Amino acid sequence: MAMLEVKDLEVYYGMIQAIKGISFEVNQGEVVALIGANGAGKTTTLHTITGLLPSKKGTVTFEGQDITKVPAHKIVYMGVAHVPEGRRVFADLSVYQNLKMGAYTRKDKEEIEQTLAMVYERFPRLKERKDQRAGTLSGGEQQMLAMGRALMSKPKLIVMDEPSMGLSPIFVNEIFDIIKEVRKTGTTVLLVEQNAKKALEIADRAYVLETGKILLSGDAKELMNDDAVKKAYLGE
């Protein structure tokens, strides 16, 4: 059984159909990438999975439970963390306070401290800046904070929306290294990413979305060598 299963999903914005009956799954421990051009429906798909957008048709199942109509905050409690596009950290709070906000679904203080230590180990820069206001961090550091905050909830599945967007190449590499690390800890990752090359390099499997439909799917390495993918998304 897949950890996350999306079946025949249809999503509308007013009269416009953004998602046209897509189906895909994410298995425990995988990194799965959704790639596609701007406006393909990648972010819409994530928002529907995490309860931020309603679907018109279809189902989203997480660990065997239908979460199609479950509100976003409850989905977090079930073990799904969302790293939204554009980072969205709490600018006026310190780095430390932002991280603590990520653990609001958890009660065990000792375990929270252990997770915090793990996040600091993975993101040494956040530790150095733990008392600094989040709004004063660079874009790359804010992205790290958004990822660290998501990890604080100890998620089973982490959903990332365009983590490399607007970052300098050096930070892009760092962010992708971190995603690899996250998967090593057993956390499953669903990744939406415009940088198709980077996404396919670290993913196990990938789905190519075009105007609300899944055009291609398969092993990430195979898709990297697919001529249509190369031409359309890898700039070759």
> What pLDDT, on a 0 to 100 scale, did the predictor assign at position 21?
96
Look at residue 60 in the predicted model and tell me its pLDDT. 97
* DSSP for residue 50: T
Termini Cα distance of the chain: 36
pLDDT attached to residue 111: 93
* pLDDT tens digit at each of 236 positions of the chain: 799 999 999 999 889 999 999 999 999 999 999 999 888 899 999 999 999 999 999 999 999 999 999 999 999 999 999 998 877 899 999 999 999 999 988 999 999 999 999 999 999 999 999 999 999 999 889 999 999 999 999 999 999 999 998 888 888 998 999 999 888 888 999 999 988 999 999 999 999 999 999 999 999 999 999 998 888 888 76
- Strand 188-192 to 157-161 pairing: parallel
CA dihedral (134, 84, 35, 165) positive or negative:
negative
**Which residues make beta-bridge pairs with 208?**
35, 216
Cα–chain-centroid distance for residue 197? 17
Q: Is the pTM of this model over 0.75?
A: yes
**82: enclosing H helix or E strand:** strand 80-83
Predicted local distance difference test score (pLDDT) of residue 236: 65
Select from 41, 57, 12 the least CA-distant residue to 207.
41
Here the contacts of 60-64 (C-beta below 8 Å, separation 24 or greater) are 60/4, 60/5, 60/6, 60/7, 60/9, 61/2, 61/4, 61/5, 61/6, 61/7, 62/3, 62/4, 62/157, 63/3, 63/156, 64/1
| Topology adopted by domain 4-90+158-233 | Rossmann fold (3.40.50)
Q: Give residue 188's pLDDT.
A: 96
57-62 β-sheet, strand order: 16-26, 4-13, 57-62, 65-66
d(CA 41, CA 9): 11
**H/E element, 19:** strand 16-26
Q: Say what the pLDDT of residue 6 is.
A: 97
